[in-house]
């Protein structure tokens, strides 16, 4: 099993490497692909030193699986070239997510739709993954009529440059800016660029990706995405109106029994999810579960996950694991 990690020197790429080791992924050969400035540098994996190689060399090696986290431009250019070599590409960028030719997969929800002909699989956006991990089983039981989402997203979702901006501002240093305004001691109601409808690209990802993954093209979803000065983990306030009424204990039972979801909901003991406690964990944590008393058939949830793990690297590797288990990767 020959595996390439494209973008191995980036934040998500390094988490992918850590998870390949933690999960004992059955690889026999590892190809680490990085930008031109990192080619030739070395990194340790399982006590062995590996050298970063160019993407052209990795394509020529025809790996069985390529885990991509190198950005949309690199994915659009190189992912098809890996596919031509017979490689299964699992891409973490937004390049292919809304392309009807390619599946958009959260393994716990829709991995059963994958086939042996699927050679390019899109990894959903981090905020979409944790949202749907919590609400998909509730949708199956009660039917979602409408969702209103407010996100509180870690600056790590922007990448190393954003973390450096935060640290410079905290330390009183000047430096490059990942954002148009300070992030230290601040919140920015802008994640990604604005679209023509005045929603940001991040907000519209929640709308479009939720519809595709749940196979509900008319699902009513609206979102406000906010960047916050948190070093790890995204949080979401989710308000859902269902087609059917629900019993609050039934809701909690469903969440409690959902693989990959941890119900952390005990207000009497001040027990609820936080990004600090979700850091370096693969589960999605759900709490503050309560009926919306202002509207019929409506529910409030608070959803937290480590955006670099289940929101990115873990989900990608789980896709590969599920395809291996189903015999879709030989």
Maximum CA pair distance of the chain?
60
pLDDT tens-digit readout, 162-215: 999 999 999 999 999 999 999 999 999 999 999 999 999 999 999 999 999 999
Torsion of CA 258, 262, 263, 268, to 10 degrees: 170
Length of the chain: 330
Residue 318 clears pLDDT 80, i.e. is over it: yes
Distance in angstroms (rounded) separating the CA atoms of residues 273 and 285: 6
> What one-character DSSP code corresponds to residue 111?
G
Reading the block at residue 191, the tokens are 């994640």
Strand ranges inside the chain, DSSP E = 2-6, 29-33, 42-45, 48-51, 65-68, 88-91, 120-122, 144-154, 220-228, 234-242, 261-263, 284-291, 298-305
The reply to whether 2-124+312-325 and 127-307 are identical in fold is no
Spell out the domain ranges in the chain: 2-124+312-325, 127-307
Catalytic residue among 126, 139, 187, 191: 126
Average pLDDT, the chain: 97
- The H or E element containing residue 251 is helix 248-256
Identify which of 286, 311, 312 has the alpha carbon closest to the alpha carbon of residue 300.
286
pLDDT tens column, 85-126? 999 999 999 999 999 999 999 999 999 999 999 999 999 999
Model confidence over 33-76: pLDDT tens digits? 988 788 889 999 998 999 999 999 999 999 999 999 999 999 99
Categorize the per-residue pLDDT at 16 as very low, low, confident or very high, splitting at 50, 70 and 90: very high
Q: What is the pTM of this model?
A: 0.96
pLDDT at residue 297 is higher than 80: yes
Which CATH topology does 127-307 take?
Dihydrodipicolinate Reductase; domain 2 (3.30.360)
Q: Which pLDDT score is estimated for 180?
A: 97
Catalytic residue flag (residue 139): no
Burial label for 148, CB within 10 Å (0-12, 13-18, 19+), is: middle
Does residue 234 carry a catalytic annotation? yes
Please identify, in words, the CATH class of the domain defined by 2-124+312-325: alpha beta
């Amino acid at each position: 099993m020959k595996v390439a990690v494209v973008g191995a020197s980036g934040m998500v790429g390094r988490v992918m490497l850590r998870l390949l080791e933690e999960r004992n992924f059955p690889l026999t050969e590892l190809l680490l692909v990085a930008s031109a400035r990192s080619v030739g540098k070395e990194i340790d994996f399982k006590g062995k030193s590996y050298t970063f190689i160019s993407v052209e060399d990795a394509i020529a090696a025809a790996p069985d699986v390529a885990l991509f986290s190198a950005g949309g431009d690199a994915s659009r250019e190189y992912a098809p070239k890996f596919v031509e070599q017979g490689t299964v590409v699992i891409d973490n960028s937004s390049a292919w997510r809304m392309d009807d030719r390619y599946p958009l997969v959260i393994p716990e929800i829709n991995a059963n739709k994958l086939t042996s002909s699927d050679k390019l699989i899109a990894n959903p956006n981090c905020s979409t993954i944790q949202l749907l991990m919590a609400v998909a089983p509730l949708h199956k039981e009660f039917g979602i009529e409408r969702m209103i989402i407010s996100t509180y997203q870690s600056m790590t979702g922007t990448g190393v440059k954003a973390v450096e901006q935060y640290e410079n501002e905290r330390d009183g240093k000047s430096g490059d800016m990942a954002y148009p305004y300070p992030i230290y001691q601040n919140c920015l109601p802008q994640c990604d660029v604005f679209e023509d409808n005045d929603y940001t690209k991040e907000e519209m990802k929640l709308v479009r990706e939720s519809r595709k993954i749940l196979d509900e093209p008319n699902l009513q979803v609206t979102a406000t995405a906010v960047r916050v000065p948190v070093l790890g983990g995204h949080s979401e306030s989710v308000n859902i109106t269902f087609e059917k009424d629900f019993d609050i204990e039934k809701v909690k039972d469903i969440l409690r029994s959902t693989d990959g979801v941890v119900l952390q909901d005990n207000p009497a003991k001040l027990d609820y999810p936080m990004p600090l406690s979700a850091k370096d964990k693969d589960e999605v944590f759900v709490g503050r579960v309560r009926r919306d008393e202002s509207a019929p058939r409506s529910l409030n949830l608070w959803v937290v996950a480590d955006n670099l793990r289940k929101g990115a690297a873990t989900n990608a590797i789980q896709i590969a694991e599920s395809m291996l288990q189903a015999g879709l990767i030989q």
